[in-house]
Amino acid sequence: MAVPILLLLLFFSIPFSESKLSEDYYKQTCPDFQKIVRETVTVKQAGQPATAAGTLRLFFHDCMVEGCDASVFIASNHVNKAERDADINQSLSGDAFEVVVRAKTALELTCPGIVSCADILAEATRDLVTMVGGPFYPVKLGRKDGQVSLASKVDANLPKTNQTMDEIIKLFADKGFTIEEMVALTGGHTIGFSHCKEFTDRLFHYSPTTPTDPVMNPRFAEGLKKTCANYTTNPAMSAFNDVITPGKFDNIYYQNLKRGLGLLSSDHALVKDPRTMPLVELYSKNQEAFFKAFGHAMEKLGHHEIKTGQQGEVRRRCDAFNTIQA
């Protein structure tokens, strides 16, 4: 009797919603799901190389707020200001939204009403990360799209560039993520860019006596000052998170941190804190270790507070609930 009881205990230790997910969830109902998503993201990434980084950030912003339920796609209306219009989400990539909507349109023609926007985003993110050199990791499917999207819930659930490492670690810990998982997920900064307003305090207003953060590589800082000289009048000004290999998913981001080439205050904080510095050292020297940790963390992120069964719906359009919300 001991073995069946043990198996039963193991089953109940798995969150019920997560246990419903499977890699072949659409095998019978939409067998071309993976093929359609892969073809869609390949075309989009070829035309707009920033799509991969933008989609990875979109996935993170979606999952951290109300779980991975595509709630970030919902458009605001006269009675509801949705997540997408929260201040911190104003800079999310239009290409990232578009690639998911393109895939959704193609899937609705092939297997209408079957595939959730949340699953498309999860699959597209993995495919794009892999396309730019990152690790392949399994994506289990079966998420439903959420039926709540409130801008008021966004701010407290996403890390900010000016937060202390204590605050960032606590935010992730409150969601069940370890320090190792947080540092690995932050490695997503190996691709993409940040707007100047996110880091200009380090360039122009570090302290009353020292305008520029002294830990920044001097040549790097001077280059950023030129790039961001007009950031107050042109808020679209930005810089690559990884100045060495900005379009390739690799471990150079961690090497940059040790050279004073970290762009954001939160990036540099990883080097200063004794809890995170050993992981920066490990990932900077061992790309395989980083890829393994990143893949694991992305799998876990993809299961965060998901909706299954009657907890959600399969939206007909990613930007609108199927039924009008009161």
Binding residues for substrate: 159
The helix/strand count (H/E) of the chain reads as 14, 2
CB 221 within 8 A of CB 212: yes
173 to each of 28, 49, 155, 178, 223, how far by Cα in Å?
38, 33, 17, 6, 36
Which residues contribute to the annotated binding site? 62, 65, 67, 69, 71, 83, 159, 189-190, 242, 245, 250
- Distances in Å between the Cα of 36 and the Cα atoms of 33, 42, 105, 123 are 5, 10, 10, 11
Q: Radius of gyration over alpha carbons of the chain, in Å?
A: 20
Contact 304, 63 (CB under 8 A): yes
Give residue for tokens 């190996």. 190
**61: annotated active-site residue:** yes
HSE, CB side, 13 Å, CA atoms: give it for residue 173: 7
Q: Binding site for Ca(2+): which residues?
A: 62, 65, 67, 69, 71, 83, 190, 242, 245, 250
Q: Which of 61, 268, 303, 304 is catalytic?
A: 61
Cite the annotated binding site for heme b by residue number.
189
Angle between helices 33-47 and 117-131 (to 10 degrees): 50
Give the number of residues written for the chain.
Answer: 326
- Dist. CA 134–CA 132, nearest whole Å: 6
Q: Which CA distances in Å does 148 have to 58, 80, 97, 325?
A: 17, 10, 18, 8
What is the distance between the alpha carbons of residues 235 and 230, in angstroms, rounded to a whole number?
Answer: 8
What is residue 74's DSSP assignment?
A: P
- Listed residue (69, 45, 43) closest to 55, CA to CA: 45
Which positions are annotated as active-site residues? 61
